[in-house]
Structures are given as structure tokens and as C-alpha cells.
Structure 1
Amino acid sequence: MAYPLPPPPSSLPHHMTRRSLLLLSTASTTTTATSAALSLPPTPTVTDRVFMDFSLCPNNFLPDRADTLSPLCSDSSLLGRVVLGLYGNLVPLTVSNFKSMCLGLNATTSSYKNTLVHKVFPGQYFLAGRQGRPDKGEVRPPHDLPRNTETVDPKAFALTHSRPGVVSLSLSENDDDDEIKLDPSYRNVEFLITTGPGPCPQLDNKNIVFGTVLQGLDVITAIASIPTYQPSERIRQFNDLAEFFGDGRAQNARNIWNRPLTTVYISDCGELKVAKPSLTPSLP
């Protein structure tokens, strides 16, 4: 008596159909694509624009200024205007505080106006907005400036310092005195702008990128070319030794390193109204 032969064994498990396999493959591909998309930095949108006029002073700043509204230099020359685009959707608190410091609309007249560019690192970036005494060209933030909680939010550090003209809240490179930072009312308003020609990866994940230079990159390049004070190798060695032994004067001595030999300062600043937010800015 002949018995029917059993069906050939399938290479798929009994509960796995070809349709199920196709769906599983599609889901796996989608998950991989989603994960890759999440790892990409966000696309910033310029929501606000501010301007900064930078000026040069042939002499050092005047130490006897009566208030922050008087000119920093009586014989200054305009270097040029820089227009900054700010990413208000990405880091709204950082952008709001920066705009406040440009406009001086808080309870006091504190603003970036008449304050120094106090450090220039050739081929990298410059620093402005150092806190301290207004009569020395430093800034004093108003007491009602909101506390910036984005400084402890990992998502705020997503953008990188990948090119010239990146505007960033200076955290790791902050030049404010330690005594000022220990004040309970301390608000970080010091900022940096990358000058190029290349990226500054050492600043990534440490400082909050919140804007870009839309116009006036030539002004940024001109600031970067200003000669700065560079100590000799012997002075650097003595300074390292003093720091090793805990001598507090070592840090005080380093405060004048990389200072521009020609005074450059923010002679005016303010907001430029935007009819509607733009898409990703066309970079300079």
C-alpha cells in the first residue's frame, strides 16, 4: 500500500509567513533610519536678529567713566556692524537673555553696549561680555535676568562649533572671576564667536551654540587679526610652576594673556525686527 509523501520542510518557522518576514524587515529598516535621524543635530531656525557695532580705540579704555552710557573711548573708529541670527526655537532661554543684554530693557541699563572684547584667540574665537566693573568695560547683568536652566540641559549642547561665525554662550571658556561666579545672583552672559578659518571641536558639548553671523563676517575676521598679548615661554613656565604650588597670582597673571593690544569694544547693539522666522540660514 502506498502512503503519500510528507510535504517538504519549510525554511521558515511554522508561525512565520513571508508576509511577516517582509513586515519585520521593513520595521527593522525603519527603526534603524529613525535612530540615525535622532543622532543628527537639529536644524536651527533663525527666529531673531540682533546687531552689534564693533569699534576700535587707539588708546586704552578710560578708567574714569561715570556710567555705562558714556562712551568707552572719546576717539573711536567704527570697525563695522555684525548681524547675528539667533535660534530662539532651539534654546529660547539663552536667546531671550542674550537679547535682553543687547537691548538693556531690564530693571537697569545693563547691556553689552560699551563693553570690551576682552580675549582673542587667533584662528579660533574671541570672548566678550566679561562680568565685572562697567568702568573697566565689563558688563554687569541686571538682577532680574532670568536664570538660564538650559546650561544643565544636554539637548542645549546639540549644535557644534563647526565653522566661522558660530555664536555661543561661553561656559567652559568663561573668563569671569571666581568670586563673581560664587555670587548667588550670578548669571552667565559671556559669549564667544568663532573666527575660523576652521572649526573649534574643543568647544563642542561644553558651550551652548545659540546663533550665527548672518552679516559682517569680515568684521569678525578683522577682530581675529588684532595682535594680542602673548607671554614668553619663560613667563609661561614660571606661571605653571606658581600654579602648581597653589599661588593665586598665577591665575591673575593669565587674565591679561590673549588680550587685544588695541582696544576693541561693542559701541552699540540692538534688535533687528524679523517679519517671520527664516529657514536654515545661508551661512557666510
Structure 2
Amino acid sequence: MATSSSLFLLLSLFLSFKTFAWGGNFNKDFDLLFGDDRVDIKEEGKSMSLTLDKYSGSGIISKNEYLFGRFDMQIKLVPGNSAGTVTAYYLSSQGSNHDEIDIEFLGNLSGDPYLLSTNVYANGNGGREMQYYLWFDPTEDYHIYSIDWNSRRIIILVDNIPIRVMRNRQDIGVPFPTKQPMRIYTTLWNGDSWATRWGKVKLDLSNAPFVAGFKNFNANACIAKTGEDCKVFNGGQNKGLDSESKQKWKVVLSKWVVYDYCRDFRRYAHGLPYECRKDNVLPVV
């Protein structure tokens, strides 16, 4: 028979783990953001499609706010002429000084590749875009897109291959998202004012409806009820990259990067952002 002290210990452990989330379900873990029945949740919450038509796009938002974790989503993008469409999967807090971690897929004309755009905001400061082409056709099948976030770094992955690693550089005065809980957003919308060739190619509504598929959402994350519970949460088993992952990351950097804000000397003609300057750049190790 369990003693009162052991029962108290078990109860304490249960309460502490209540702030953690494992797995995911579109029915249980998300609310409708916009689009009404253009959000179609299937298979008892395991899969979902979002639709963009001439009237509206669509999207969902997580019920919970999270502070650190790994978030995985399998996505199959809009096929054919997807120019002007934006399929987004991202974390964001609220307010003008918000934090945000973005994965956005910018549609293109048939035969031209999608652009995967990433960005990070901290305390309302953004402008940290990195963009990539993919080494596969993301409209033919589902692929896993992941955000792995803790207080030390953010890793964005495609099929478990890291494409971006952003380390916490608060030690040199660079803002980093460490304090604001964020919700998960998944959306499909008309971004033709900027998404394809800087807005030169518009959405062709004769191809509507545009449909993207999502399935097997998974969160290994800390639900931010008090904030204190999440301080030591690592957001995944690995604190950094192992040697194999580092090599894969180097290949992505050498072959698939289309735009890097740290190399945009036109945009930053009067000086690159502080973390991009020669003396502050961290090596890819």
C-alpha cells in the first residue's frame, strides 16, 4: 500500500507533466481562425485540408500557448499554378512587440519551384529572412516540416534535415524569443501583393480552389500556463546538432539557400545587422 508521501510525490509529478504536450490532433488542439468550412478536418483529427477560393482563404490556431518545444507537421502543398498563394506554418505571440518563428511556402507558376521562406521576430524585431529552394517537389507528397525551439537556439528542419539554425545571441544585444508564449498557426491565403516575384505574378482565380493538405501534427512542447514551468524544457531530445546533421546542414547552406538577410548588402547598405557582422558571425561547426 502506497504511503501518503509517495502518493504526494506521484500527484506532484502528474501536475508537473500536465504542462507538457505530446502528440497532436486538429480537432482537439486547434480552433478555427478563419475560412469556415474551407477548413476540412478528417480522420478523427489526424489530417486536414485548407482551401483558398475567390472568397477567402482559411486557417487554424492552437488552443494552447507554448513556450519552447518541437513542432512537426506533414504538409502537401498546392499543386499546379500556385502563384500568389502563401501556405504558412508558424508560431506567434500577440501584440506589436510580438515574437514569431515562420515557415512560409510561396507559390509559383507551374513548373517553377516553391520558395520556402523563414523568418524570426523577437520583441517585434524581424527582418531575419532566409529563403530556400527544396530538393524535391513538395506538391507530390507529404513532407515533414519542423520548428525546434528552446532558449538557446531555433532549428528549422525539412524531413529531419536542418535547414536553419539560429542561436541565441542576446549576449551581444540581439533579441531572441525566450519569454513570450506563442500559439501555432496554420494558414492558406492570398499573398499575391508580394509572394511571387515580389508581387509581379498574381493569383489566377481560374485555378481555384487551391488546396493544401496537412497531417500528423505532433508537439513535444511545454504548455505555457505560468511560464515558470517551461524554463528548463529542452523542446526535444537533442540540445544541438549531431555530426551527421551538421554535415546535412552544410549541404543545404551550400546548395539550396536563395536569400540570406546577412548577405543583403543592398537592403543593409549602411551596415549589416549586428549578428551578421564579421566579428560576430558564429562558425558552422
Shorter-chain TM-score bucket reads under 0.3
**Which structure carries more helix by proportion?**
1
What TM-score, normalized to structure 1? 0.26
- Give the number of the structure whose residues are more often strand, by fraction: 2
TM-score between both structures, scaled by the size of structure 2: 0.26
